[in-house]
Chain A
Amino acid sequence: DAGVIQSPRHEVTEMGQEVTLRCKPISGHDYLFWYRQTMMRGLELLIYFNNNVPIDDSGMPEDRFSAKMPNASFSTLKIQPSEPRDSAVYFCATRPGRGVAEAFFGQGTRLTVV
C-alpha cells in the first residue's frame, strides 16, 4: 500500500480564497483523522471519521472549516474563506478499526495564506 496520500503538498493562497485539502486513506482503514500542526499549538485534532461518518468535530476551529468523507477512499478539508492564521501544516491520518492501535500519517499539506 502507498500509505496515506495527501494533496497538495504545498498550497499558497490569498486571504479570502477557498482552500481544499485532500486525503486518500489506506485501503481498509476505518478511521480517518485531520490534524493541524503549528509552532504555537502543536498537533491539534480537528475532526475524525469512522466508516465515512464524522464522529467528533469539536476541534474544528470555526465555521470556516468543513470536512467531508464522501466514500472510504477520499476525504477533504475545506477552509472558506481562508485567513493568514490558518497557515499551518495539515495532516491526515488513518487507522484500522480493530487490532492495531496506532495511526498512520500522510506527508502533510503545508498551507500558507498571505
Chain B
Amino acid sequence: AQSVTQLGSHVSVSEGALVLLRCNYSSSVPPYLFWYVQYPNQGLQLLLKYTSAATLVKGINGFEAEFKKSETSFHLTKPSAHMSDAAEYFCAYSGAGSYQLTFGKGTKLSVIP
C-alpha cells in the first residue's frame, strides 16, 4: 500500500530564509505527487504537481519541488520565506491510473519576522 511521510510536523524559519519541507513516499507504481497549502479556516489549494514530466516542478508563490525517484522524495523548497507563507503544507500521492489521493500528516510552517 502506498504511503506519504512528511518529516517534521512543525517547521519554523526566519523571514527571508530558505524553506525546506520534506516529503517521502512509498509505492510500487509510478507516482503523481502534489503539494497543497492550507491557510487557517480554508480548504486545500494546489501549490504544484509532478506528473512524470520534468522532475523539477515550479509552482505558485515561488515554491518548487524536485522529484527524486532514487530517494522516493518530493521535497518542497522556497529560496526566501515570506510572512504570508505561514500555513500548513500537505504532500499527497496518487498512483498513475488511480484517482485517489493519499495525504501526508502535514507540516505547519511558521515564519518568524
Q: Which residues of A contact B (CB under 8 A)?
A: 4, 31, 33, 42-43, 45, 48, 50, 56, 91, 93, 95, 101-108, 110
- The winner among B42, B102, B103 for most chain A CB atoms within 10 A is B103
List chain A residues, Cβ under 8 A from B106.
Answer: 42-43
Contacts A91-B43, A91-B44, A107-B42 hold; do A43 and B32 have CB atoms under 8 A apart? no
Contact B103 A102, beta carbon cutoff 8 Å? no
Contact B100 A43, beta carbon cutoff 8 Å? no
User: Lowest 5 CB-CB distances: which A-B pairs, in order?
Assistant: A105-B43, A43-B103, A105-B44, A42-B105, A101-B32
B82, CB-defined interface residue at 8 Å? no
What is the total number of residues of chain B having a CB less than 8 Å from a CB of chain A? 21
In B67-113, the 8 Å CB interface with A consists of 90, 94, 99-106
Closest chain B residue to A10, Cβ basis? B41
Contact A31 B43, beta carbon cutoff 8 Å? no
Question: How far apart sit A91 and B99, CA to CA, in the bound complex (Å)?
Answer: 16
Contact A42 B103, beta carbon cutoff 8 Å? yes
- The winner among B32, B46, B100 for most chain A CB atoms within 10 A is B100
List chain A residues, Cβ under 8 A from B101.
Answer: 33, 45, 93, 102-103
Can you report 9 residue pairs joining A to B where beta carbons are below 8 Å apart? A31-B99, A33-B100, A43-B90, A43-B106, A45-B101, A101-B32, A101-B34, A102-B46, A105-B44
Contact A56 B100, beta carbon cutoff 8 Å? yes
